[in-house]
Each structure stands twice: as C-alpha cells, then as structure tokens.
A and B are shown apart, each in its own frame.
Chain A
Amino acid sequence: MAIIVRMPEVLANASEAALQTWMVKEGDSVVVGQPLAEIETEKANVEYDSEVEGTILRLLVGEGDSVAVGDPIGVIAAPGESDVDVDRLLAGAVDDPPAPTEASEDAAPVSIAQTTASSAQAAAPDAASESGERLFASPLVRRLARERNLDLASVAGSGPSGRIVRRDLEGVHQTQSAPRAELTASSSVVPTPGYIDVPHTGMRRAIARRLTESKSTVPHFYVVADCRVDALLELRRQVNEISPRRISINDFVIKAVAKALVEVPEANVIWTEEASRRFDTVDVAVAVSTDGGLLTPVLRGVESLGVATISEQVTELADRARSGRLKQHELEGGSFAISNLGMFGVDEFSAILNPPQSGILAVSAAKQRPVVENGSVVVGSVMTVTLSADHRVVDGALAATWLAAFVRLIENPLALLI
C-alpha cells in the first residue's frame, strides 16, 4: 500500500515548516532511513528520513514552500507496488490523516505480501524490515564496512528491499559528504563578471530567516561590561599545567554563565505566548561556526558540570557540528547562548538573540589595556562582554544584576572550580 509522507513535526508545537530541498526525485526508490528532504525548522535545517521503503511516486510540495505540519508532502509506493491512484489516496487521506509513524507501521506488512512474486526475493529480509531498525546489508558489504570502518547507517541501499549492496559503497564517501559539498562555495559557484552568486543552502536560508525574525520581533537591549581576567588567565595556566586536556577561556565563560544563572534564577527564563517559562536547570547554547554557517548546539545541565567536562562536551558537539552530524534535538532548547569571537581578536561586539533564548553573551578577546587600579593606571587583561537580552522577559535591572554576577565570577574564577 502506498504511503503518504506528511510534513513532520520536527519541533514540538511547531505548526508549519518549510521544505527546503528535496533529496529524492519522483521515481527514486528509497529505503528506511534514507533522507527524503531538507526541512527548515526554526532551529536548523534537518534532513527528514524516510520511515518506509519504496518508490517515490509523487512529490507534492515545491522546494521553499512552507507547509502545515501533517500536510501531505509526498507519496511513496510500497516495494513492488505499481498502479497507485495517488489522487484517490490523497483524497481519502484528508479526512483521517494518520501520523507518519502510523503510516509506516501500516506499510510494512503489506510490503511483505507484495514481494511474493519472486520466491527468491520473498525471503527473510523483507519480513525483518518491518521494524525499520535493522539495517540490511549484504554479507560482503558488512565485511567491507568493518574493514573500512564505514558507518552503514548513513548509506542508502539500492538492492532489493533496500539492501545495501557493493555498489552502494562505491559512492559512500560522496554520499556522506554530499550535503557538505554543497555548502562549500567552490562546488556550486557560477562565475560571472565582477561577482559570483553562491546559491543559498538550506542552512543559509534558515539563518537568514531566523535572525531576521529575531531581530525584528524580539526587543533586544544590550548591557556591556569589562571583565578583569588576569586571575582567570593565571588560573587557566595553572589548570592547564595539570589538566590532561586543554581548557579554554570559553569553557570558564560557559561555567560562569551557568553559575550566574543559578545565582540569578530570574534570568533563566524564556518568553512564550502564555507565560514566562523559568527553568530549573541551565542549558546553554554555544555558537559554533561551520563552513555552512552558524550552529548552536545546546549543552545541558551545565550547572552541575565541571569545567573539564564542559570542555570535553563542547569540543565533541563542535566537532559534530562541523561534520554535519548533530541531531535535531541537540539544537533545541536552552535559555541562554554564548557567542565568542575572542579568537579573532575583536574588542567588543553584540549578538542577535537566538529565539526562544532570552539572552546571549557576546564574548570578545582578552587584551591588555590600561586600567585604573586604586587611583593609578596599570596594565591589566580585560575582556569585554555584551549581553543581549529579550526585554519581554528580562528587564534592564535584571540584566544588570545577572551581568554583575557574571563579572564577579569571571574575575574571581576559583569559584568556578568549586
């Protein structure tokens, strides 16, 4: 039986999403887990994977179109199925729209019944594919994957019943890097006199849309402070003498942000239409620059993490962000974000809020500057930070209180190790 693919509710409570790019075309055969489309959510661009196997009969939504969650976006015929009346299927589907997951469960037993045409083909793999969890790969492919250390989960099988076969491995590097290749300018640049047009990627569109929306709908205000970081730099030096991994200034900043949010819990809050939502734990988003643009994976429960653990987790999230392997849920949530451009030597900057977060701290470089100490000018290491806050839930006094707490913590960094 053919399956209607519906716009997924990628984000909780989202009512609509935009289909950015189709990754399949009509007539393609797809397997469970194969990406169908890039779907633009408020948070990021996600690849929406097929939950069934079969052949793409029809794509119902154009690239760039925004569609209500649950609306049909495509039709997939079950393996071996032909002669599907798509229009009738869609007409019948309107009244009783099943959730996509239900549809996939319906589909599997039917696909078994329909593969009995060839006795050789109606073997166990079909039956087992019901679960949608097992990955079917030929014995050869499993051996090669072992030898070459390949992750077959990212390989689409083109053999019968979606089995991953030898041919599928021939392009496996391209398969895995294809989305990333599009992001680099060189592969899709059309040279013209005087300028080049780099076509928008889904991610670039998402960044543009979301930040425009944030800057134009969220009332930002800014609070700036200079932090004396001589003690922090010294502490970091000492810590790094004994630490097996290199702890960065940013790791301390993350910890200080978390601690400040614990000390000033009123600031650990986001705006929703009905209420101000105050959180029990501190989830902090960390901006990571990738070739394709900015990603903000979220570090959870930072209030209870040590600096070393924070360092470890940030590195891991950043690595995966840069290799395109972040999961959607890792990009969601958080009440606060940190953007650090210190490594570029900037003196100060301000950041745009990343909704629904209510605060973002723009961290610049720690530099030696003249500072007044006990009435005389001395040389000190200073790092300027700028808090951007959502005035709907954070008033000026609250922002100032929080920032004062942050400055005190970062200037007395031993507290961060407790």
Chain B
Amino acid sequence: MNLSSAWKLPITFFVENNLYAVSTTVAEATGEPRLSARALGFGIPSWQVDGMDPLAVHLAMKEAEAVMREGGGPSFIEVETYRFFHQNGPYPGSAFGYRTKEEEASWRARDPLDRVAKEMIALGLIDEAGVADVRDQAQKAMLVAIAQLLEPDPDQPGKRRIIPALWPDPGFVNVGIRGDGSELAGVRTLEPTSYTGEVETTKFVDAVAAVMDRRMDQDERIIVLGEDVHRLNGGTNGATKGLSKKFGGRVLGTPISENAFAGLGGGMALDGRFRPVVEFMYPDFMWVAADQVFNQIGKARHMFGGENPVPLVLRTKVAMGSGYGSQHLMDPAGIFATSPGWRIVAPSSAADYIGLMNTALTLQDPVLVIEHVDLYGELGEVPAGDLDYFIPVGKAAVRRVGSDVTVISYLSMLKPVLQAVEQTGIDAEVIDLRWLDRASLDWDTIGESIRKTNAVLIVEQGARGTSYGGWLSDEIQRRYFDHLDQPIERVTGGEASPSISKVLERAAIAGTEEVVAGLELIRRGMGGR
C-alpha cells in the first residue's frame, strides 16, 4: 500500500471483510477493526461500504475509478460482508461454536441475491417467476459444470468423486519449476577463459553498471527497482551508476520495503510486459521479503502449471568483510539453492559477470545474481567493447587444473582458494561454479574432476548453517560415492552470523587460512606415508 501511495499507482485495494479468519474475529485481531482506516495512514482515499448491497459497492467502485483515472493514485474499499459457512466445508460456523445461529440468520437476511431480487421486483424490472427462473438457470449451469468434473463414486454409494481421467499424471509433479532455457537458443556465447581477442581493463562494479546500461538500452522492458538505486551515483556501491540519468523512469528508488518491491517485481514478471531487475541492498533482507521471493516468485510458474514464465533478475551483494554486522552479512546461495524455482549465478570476475548477466536477463526464470563487495573494486580484463556475449547456463570454469582434490567454490572465494592452493602446494583442481542452482549446476565438469581426484573440498565464505555446500555435498556423495577416496570436506564460516566487530567478523567467516586448513584436512585424508 505504501509503495502504491508513494508512486501514485492506479490500483484499488478491494477488501472483502467477512469478519472472520477461520474462527478469529477481526475485532479480536486488531485495535482498529475498520480495515479501511489503514489506508488513511498512507494518504490513500478510503471507503467502507455495505458489501451485502451490490449497488453501494458499485457506487464506491465508481468513485475509486475516478480517483485512479484522475491520477490520484491508489484507493481502498472495504466491503462489509459475511462468510455464511465455516472457513471450509458445508457446515455453518455456528456448528463449531465460535458464533451464534442468530448472528448467521441476521446476515442471511441481508443476502445480496435476495436483496437485488426484492429491489428489482419493487422497480417492476422482474417478477417472482422471473427470479425463480434466473435462480433455476444458475443452478442448472452449476450442475452442468459439476457434471464435467464429477461422477458417482463406485466405491462409496451416494458420493461423488472427481472423474479419474481429469487428474494430472503424477509424472508432472516437477514439470515447470523452471523454463527449459530454450529462450537462449542461438545467442552468441563467449568463454572468457579461452577468449583471445582484444581486452580492456575494468573495475568489476563498472562492468556491473555497464552491462545493465547496455541491456536497458537494447531492451526497454527492463526496469530497475531497489533502495537508493537511483541516487548516490549508482546506489550504495555504484552498481547502477549512470542508469537513472539515462533511463529516467526506469530506475526506481524504492522505500525500504523488500517484500513490497520484490512483490511488485514478481507481478511485473508474471505480467510479462516488463523485465524487472530487483536489487536487495543486502542478501539478509530476503527474509523480510521471503513471502514474495520464495512463496510467490519462486513457486509461481510451477504453481500455475508451468506455463507462465517469471523473468525476473534479483541482484544482491554479499558484504562479508564490510563490517555491516549480523543482519547484513549472509551468503544467500544456500537458501536459494534449496528453494524451488530460482536459478543462481555467482560471477567471480567482471568478464564472467557480463556474460552471466546477459544470460540472466534473457532467461524466462527468476535468476538470483550474487555479487560481492570484495569483488566490486577489483580490476579485471573483459573483451574490449563487447557487452553482448552470453555465458551459457550450466557452464562452470576450471580455474586451476590439478589431480589431488577438486575444490569447488564460487564468487569471492576463488581468490583465497587459489592462494591457499599455492601455499599448501597441494595439486588442487579448482572449479568456479558460476551457476549454483540445482538445475544449472555443471555436473559434467564436477564429475570429470572428481573421477580424477577422488576428493572434494567445497569452499564458501559464509556461516555454516545456511551454507550452500550442504546440499551440494549430499548430491556429490550420492552421485560419486564410488569415486570418493575420503569424505567430502567443506570450508565455511562459523555458526554465528558475522557480527559487527572486525575481529569477530573475521573469526566468523572463511578466508585463505581456513581454506589452507581445509586443504590440509584433505591431505591427511589422502593418506600415504
């Protein structure tokens, strides 16, 4: 509501207040039982009308429409109505003892169907027989509809059942969690590790802004949403630098309301006319937006039969090491990887970022793009003058070839991993996953490496509990059990979320020293005398 009010969106919040949440009354649940009063706090025009009177509702809606058409922004209508039955099933609420039969009878007397009939008869527009006809017609229509769906249940005489042939095939259970990626057919791919053309040096964060600039220029459906993305010369880190100046109405600085603007993005994605790019300033804010992020955006496609794509990019930056404290320093990969629907990319270099962002912005799926504050300032080589290449889904990069152990990592941990490998002298094969989600993981590269090394070390920076490596380790041990010569080892941060003290923050996260310890563990596991 606040977002719609702030942005004067033409939207009406139509609240059917039927007085009950299962058995709990509105009066019990709030100190202000007039739900319409809430809108006033956001400066939204608001009406409370008799929901049992269709004409009153119609008139209120006409006024709300006028507000929207005049550019007055949102409006709010609370209609007072009643739930004749219990929350579910064919029995009245009074049967469960939380209200009286008298209360139900008094609302029954206000039945809007009867009221419309009575008023129309009074106006001479219809007679009793006509009303009966209409009712009969409606009931027949219902019976026809039901007959399409139900049949007598041969096992339970007198009962009906859903026609067996109408049930879906159980094999459909996982269909449509994500799209099939066919939208990427024919795109121009480029693999930075094997690129030999002309390069230029850029800061990681400049590549972030540059590729978005390029895409917004080429695709006017792209809308950027997030806190402060329109100010401060590109948001808090410069990741959206220059965009608001160039694409005025398409870079939207949001109120602090992740659930609201993520939800707005989700709606836009389902609608399909725009391609939302949502930014969470810190990954931890996904928790306040969890309903929209996980319950809606991630599930929507599958929930509605797998046909309706949800093309949305969610950018966020891991900030471990920045000292922002416990509620700002998580790595979201583990949570997203264990939730359905999301694809995840975690670029470790500017060149990868460009290709992966182009792919993310073309995919018809919600894609989480994880960035890291430590990477923003790093200089890297990117193909000169090329912001249009794609890095395919499910393509990891081998950053170092080795034979002793497969080290799997992503994002900012590649650098410490390579340093630790250098220090220990262990001949590690280092895989930069790039794609982290269940559907996009590069099992070919991982499998080939494990068959060679027979040992795995998964390295990530963040806290152990919500870490990414847990599910990956589980998957690996089942896929490659007969190729493992020792337990899969993992490097993660501690149990606690890194706190604001520099010392405790460092102690809580994994760095080069922790990777060295992990490699030494592997070395012990290799045995030999």
Cβ-defined contact, A140 with B527, below 8 A: no
Cβ-defined contact, A139 with B526, below 8 A: no
- Give me 14 A-to-B residue pairs in the complex whose CB atoms sit less than 8 angstroms apart, sorted by A's number: A28-B529, A29-B529, A120-B521, A138-B485, A139-B482, A140-B454, A140-B485, A157-B527, A158-B528, A158-B529, A159-B485, A166-B485, A166-B527, A167-B526
Given A138-B484, A140-B482, A140-B483, CB of A163 within 8 Å of CB of B489: no
Given A118-B521, A120-B521, A166-B454, CB of A138 within 8 Å of CB of B486: yes
In the assembled complex, the Cα of A137 lies from the Cα of B185 at a distance in Å of: 46
Beyond A121-B521, A159-B526, list 20 extra A-B contacts (CB 8 Å): A120-B490, A138-B454, A138-B484, A139-B481, A139-B483, A139-B484, A139-B485, A140-B482, A140-B483, A140-B484, A141-B485, A143-B482, A159-B485, A159-B486, A159-B527, A164-B527, A165-B486, A165-B526, A165-B528, A166-B454
A29, A140, A159, most chain B CB atoms within 10 A: A140
Q: What's the least CB distance linking A67 to chain B, in Å? A: 27
Residues of B within 8 A of A70 (CB): none
Residues of A within 8 A of B485 (CB): 138-141, 159, 165-166
Q: Which residue of B lies closest to A158 (CB)?
A: B527
Taking beta carbons and an 8 Å cutoff, which residues of A are in contact with B?
A: 28-29, 118, 120-121, 123, 138-143, 157-160, 163-168
Q: What's the least CB distance linking B504 to chain A, in Å? A: 21
Cβ-defined contact, A163 with B486, below 8 A: yes
In the assembled complex, the Cα of A121 lies from the Cα of B524 at a distance in Å of: 10
Q: What's the least CB distance linking A290 to chain B, in Å? A: 29
In the assembled complex, the Cα of A120 lies from the Cα of B520 at a distance in Å of: 12
In the assembled complex, the Cα of A44 lies from the Cα of B526 at a distance in Å of: 36
B487 at the binding interface (Cβ < 8 Å): yes
Cβ-defined contact, B528 with A167, below 8 A: yes
Residues of B within 8 A of A159 (CB): 485-486, 524-527
Q: Which residue of A lies closest to B483 (CB)?
A: A140
Within 8 A of A (CB), among B11-45: none
Residues of A within 8 A of B482 (CB): 139-140, 142-143
In the assembled complex, the Cα of A142 lies from the Cα of B529 at a distance in Å of: 20
Residues of A within 8 A of B484 (CB): 138-140
Q: What's the least CB distance linking A140 to chain B, in Å? A: 4
Q: 0/1 per residue, B162-206, Cβ < 8 Å to A? A: 000000000000000000000000000000000000000000000
Cβ-defined contact, A160 with B529, below 8 A: no
Residues of B within 8 A of A157 (CB): 527
Q: What's the least CB distance linking B518 to chain A, in Å? A: 9
In the assembled complex, the Cα of A140 lies from the Cα of B483 at a distance in Å of: 5
Within 8 A of A (CB), among B475-502: 481-487, 489-490
Q: What's the least CB distance linking A325 to chain B, in Å? A: 24
In the assembled complex, the Cα of A120 lies from the Cα of B482 at a distance in Å of: 20
Within 8 A of A (CB), among B82-124: none
Q: Which residue of B lies closest to A141 (CB)?
A: B485
Taking beta carbons and an 8 Å cutoff, which residues of B are in contact with A?
A: 454, 481-487, 489-490, 521, 524-529
Q: What's the least CB distance linking B148 to chain A, in Å? A: 55
In the assembled complex, the Cα of A141 lies from the Cα of B484 at a distance in Å of: 8
Residues of B within 8 A of A123 (CB): 487
In the assembled complex, the Cα of A120 lies from the Cα of B489 at a distance in Å of: 7
Q: What's the least CB distance linking B528 to chain A, in Å? A: 4
B481, B482, B484, B526, most chain A CB atoms within 10 A: B482
For the complex of A and B, 3 pairs with smallest distance between CB atoms: A158-B527, A159-B527, A165-B527
Given A139-B481, A139-B482, A140-B482, CB of A120 within 8 Å of CB of B527: no
Cβ-defined contact, B525 with A160, below 8 A: yes
Residues of B within 8 A of A141 (CB): 485
Q: What's the least CB distance linking A250 to chain B, in Å? A: 44
Q: What's the least CB distance linking B509 to chain A, in Å? A: 18
Residues of B within 8 A of A121 (CB): 521
In the assembled complex, the Cα of A165 lies from the Cα of B484 at a distance in Å of: 9
Q: What's the least CB distance linking B203 to chain A, in Å? A: 38
Residues of B within 8 A of A120 (CB): 487, 489-490, 521
Cβ-defined contact, B529 with A163, below 8 A: no
Q: What's the least CB distance linking B303 to chain A, in Å? A: 39
Residues of A within 8 A of B524 (CB): 159-160
Residues of B within 8 A of A29 (CB): 529
Cβ-defined contact, A167 with B483, below 8 A: no
Q: What's the least CB distance linking A172 to chain B, in Å? A: 13
Q: What's the least CB distance linking A49 to chain B, in Å? A: 17
In the assembled complex, the Cα of A121 lies from the Cα of B490 at a distance in Å of: 12
In the assembled complex, the Cα of A143 lies from the Cα of B483 at a distance in Å of: 8
Residues of B within 8 A of A166 (CB): 454, 485, 526-527
Q: Which residue of A lies closest to B451 (CB)?
A: A140
Q: Which residue of A lies closest to B450 (CB)?
A: A140
In the assembled complex, the Cα of A118 lies from the Cα of B486 at a distance in Å of: 15
A118, A139, A158, A160, most chain B CB atoms within 10 A: A139
Q: Which residue of B lies closest to A156 (CB)?
A: B529
In the assembled complex, the Cα of A167 lies from the Cα of B529 at a distance in Å of: 9
In the assembled complex, the Cα of A167 lies from the Cα of B528 at a distance in Å of: 6
Residues of A within 8 A of B527 (CB): 157-160, 163-168
In the assembled complex, the Cα of A158 lies from the Cα of B528 at a distance in Å of: 5
In the assembled complex, the Cα of A121 lies from the Cα of B521 at a distance in Å of: 9
A29, A118, A164, A166, most chain B CB atoms within 10 A: A166
Q: What's the least CB distance linking A177 to chain B, in Å? A: 18
In the assembled complex, the Cα of A142 lies from the Cα of B485 at a distance in Å of: 9
Q: Which residue of A lies closest to B528 (CB)?
A: A167
Residues of B within 8 A of A118 (CB): 521
Q: What's the least CB distance linking B479 to chain A, in Å? A: 12
Cβ-defined contact, B525 with A165, below 8 A: yes
Residues of A within 8 A of B521 (CB): 118, 120-121
In the assembled complex, the Cα of A20 lies from the Cα of B529 at a distance in Å of: 24
Residues of A within 8 A of B489 (CB): 120
In the assembled complex, the Cα of A242 lies from the Cα of B524 at a distance in Å of: 60
Q: What's the least CB distance linking B494 to chain A, in Å? A: 12
Q: What's the least CB distance linking B491 to chain A, in Å? A: 10
Q: What's the least CB distance linking A274 to chain B, in Å? A: 49
Q: What's the least CB distance linking B460 to chain A, in Å? A: 15
Q: What's the least CB distance linking B325 to chain A, in Å? A: 27
Q: What's the least CB distance linking A88 to chain B, in Å? A: 29
Q: Which residue of B lies closest to A169 (CB)?
A: B485
Q: What's the least CB distance linking B26 to chain A, in Å? A: 51
Q: What's the least CB distance linking B526 to chain A, in Å? A: 6
In the assembled complex, the Cα of A138 lies from the Cα of B526 at a distance in Å of: 10
Residues of B within 8 A of A138 (CB): 454, 484-486
In the assembled complex, the Cα of A121 lies from the Cα of B487 at a distance in Å of: 9
Q: What's the least CB distance linking A54 to chain B, in Å? A: 14
In the assembled complex, the Cα of A29 lies from the Cα of B528 at a distance in Å of: 10
In the assembled complex, the Cα of A158 lies from the Cα of B486 at a distance in Å of: 12
In the assembled complex, the Cα of A118 lies from the Cα of B529 at a distance in Å of: 21
In the assembled complex, the Cα of A157 lies from the Cα of B529 at a distance in Å of: 10
Residues of B within 8 A of A140 (CB): 454, 482-485
Q: What's the least CB distance linking A261 to chain B, in Å? A: 51
Q: What's the least CB distance linking B49 to chain A, in Å? A: 63
Residues of B within 8 A of A28 (CB): 529
In the assembled complex, the Cα of A159 lies from the Cα of B523 at a distance in Å of: 9
Q: What's the least CB distance linking B208 to chain A, in Å? A: 36
Residues of A within 8 A of B528 (CB): 158, 165, 167-168
Q: What's the least CB distance linking B169 to chain A, in Å? A: 36
Q: What's the least CB distance linking A84 to chain B, in Å? A: 20
Q: What's the least CB distance linking A138 to chain B, in Å? A: 4
Residues of B within 8 A of A139 (CB): 481-485
Q: What's the least CB distance linking B323 to chain A, in Å? A: 28
In the assembled complex, the Cα of A311 lies from the Cα of B526 at a distance in Å of: 46
In the assembled complex, the Cα of A29 lies from the Cα of B527 at a distance in Å of: 11
In the assembled complex, the Cα of A141 lies from the Cα of B485 at a distance in Å of: 7
In the assembled complex, the Cα of A121 lies from the Cα of B520 at a distance in Å of: 13
Q: Which residue of A lies closest to B524 (CB)?
A: A160
In the assembled complex, the Cα of A375 lies from the Cα of B11 at a distance in Å of: 137
Q: What's the least CB distance linking B481 to chain A, in Å? A: 5
In the assembled complex, the Cα of A105 lies from the Cα of B298 at a distance in Å of: 55
Q: What's the least CB distance linking B190 to chain A, in Å? A: 37
